[in-house]
Amino acid sequence: MQRLARAGEAVAIPLGAMVAALVVFGLFMAALGHNPLEVYALIYRGAFASAFSWQNTLARAAPLVLTALCVAIPARVGLMIIGGEGALVLGGLAAAVIGHQLAGAAPLAVKLAMAAGAMLMGAAWIALAGALRHYRGVNETIASLLLTYIAIALFNHLVEGPLRDPASLNKPSTAPIAEASMLGRLPGLDVHWGLGLGVVLCLVLYVFTGRTTYGFAMRIVGGNVRAARLAGLSVGTLILVACALGGAAAGLAGMVEVAAVHGSANASLIAGYGYAGIVIAFIARHHPLAIVPVALLVGGLGASGGMLQRRLDLPDATVLVLQGLAFMLILASETLYGRGRLGRARSATT
């Protein structure tokens, strides 16, 4: 019963916040002289009204699921990692190099090697931030952010220098990978396999962090490091593993961008997906399963934002207002948990 109530709360509160955000945005649009009902209709049409708009939403959500995991998993051991962008670009670069080097091999083997290389690269990069935290006491949030700048500088240097394909004149890129080694689309959908990989990884990491003793140990470290040490847990290893898992997810996101979209590594990879993942992880309260619907919501806002821009001739800034309102209200609504009638009833019984 309590469990049900808690689950109900977890759905009702963010949905309520979303509705409130839409109401406030409607008022804002009315103040600008637009009919709020028309605005809502466009938001719905842009993101969810047809098979095309659903695919638009899903495709936009795909990279965000993976980068959100890069924040959510280290959060289990109490680390606030915001450097997913760095792991993404270096993972993508590793995938592009491997994909080109193995040009002659069997396509499946190439894909697996690209994924493995990208995940290892991302894992090592974020584990570096974890190691700096654990062994040297460097704040992991700042360290991971600064590591991102280093990653991007390194990426640009390599793509525009030693790894540049001489044929890429005005858009410096690495040599392209073979068409056969590209990741295809999900069956029956115009959405690439990145979404499938993201959902599967969310499920796996949910089971791993929520349903295994190792995952439980991570949560103890996240709750109280001293207690974890007293209980005999190897805190350092747990921190490094959590960071590596998160980094691997972001690295895989980079591989997907290269192997499903760009076909090579170039500056278009630095698109801010790593940063977008931070917001998603926070709204999902670092729960791997909640990441999927939240990423869908963000993808949907992206899709309807385009619709609002095109039909009402609005600047992108107006769409950012809607996103900002939604995120603020969902985060603010966190204070409502356990405050309803249900919450009181629960505290009375315990």
Partner 1 sequence: MSQPRADVSRRDVLKIFGAAGIAGATTGLAGGQARAADKLVVGVIYVGPRDDYGYNQAQAQAAAAIKAMPGVTVVEQEKVPETNDVQKTMGSMIEQDGATLLFPTSFGYFDPHILRMAEKYPKVRFAHCGGLWTEGKHPKNVGSYFGYIDECQYLDGVVAGHASKSKKLGFIAAKPIPQVLRNINAFTLGARSVDPKITTSLIVTGDWALPVKEAEAANSLIDQGVDILTCHVDSPKVVVETAERRNIYVCGYHANQATLAPKGYLTGAEWNWLTPYTMHVKDAQASKPLVNFLRGGLKDGFVKPSAYGKAVPEPARKRADAVKAQMMKGEFIIFKGPLKDNTGKTVIDTGVAQKQTDVVLEQMSYLVEGVIGKV
Cβ proximity to partner 1, 58 vs 221, nearer residue? 58
Name the nearest CA neighbour of 249 among 120, 155, 138, 80.
120
User: Footprint of partner 1 on this chain (CB under 8 A)?
Assistant: 1, 4-5, 8, 12, 15-16, 19, 22, 37-38, 40-46, 49, 52-53, 56, 59-60, 62-63, 156, 160, 169-172, 190, 192, 257, 260-263, 266-268, 271-273, 302-303, 306-307, 309-311, 313, 315-316, 340-342, 345
Q: Which two tokens stand for residue 29?
A: 């649009």
**Amino acid found at 158:** L
Q: Which two tokens stand for residue 228?
A: 């974890």
Cβ proximity to partner 1, 96 vs 303, nearer residue? 303
Backbone angles phi, psi at 266, to 5 degrees: -150, 180
Name the nearest CA neighbour of 18 among 287, 325, 334, 231.
325
Backbone angles phi, psi at 34, to 5 degrees: -105, 150
Count of alpha carbons within 13 Å of 1, Cβ hemisphere only?
5
Give me the least distance between CB of 252 and partner 1, in Å please.
16
Give me the least distance between CB of 169 and partner 1, in Å please.
5
Give me the least distance between CB of 89 and partner 1, in Å please.
13
Cβ proximity to partner 1, 139 vs 309, nearer residue? 309
Give me the least distance between CB of 128 and partner 1, in Å please.
23
Cβ proximity to partner 1, 173 vs 209, nearer residue? 173
Give me the least distance between CB of 340 and partner 1, in Å please.
7
Give me the least distance between CB of 105 and partner 1, in Å please.
22
Close Cβ partners of 112 (under 8 Å, ≥ 6 residues apart) = none
How many Å apart are CA 161 and CA 305, to the nearest integer? 37
Cβ proximity to partner 1, 101 vs 309, nearer residue? 309
Cβ proximity to partner 1, 236 vs 340, nearer residue? 340
How many Å apart are CA 277 and CA 296, to the nearest integer? 12
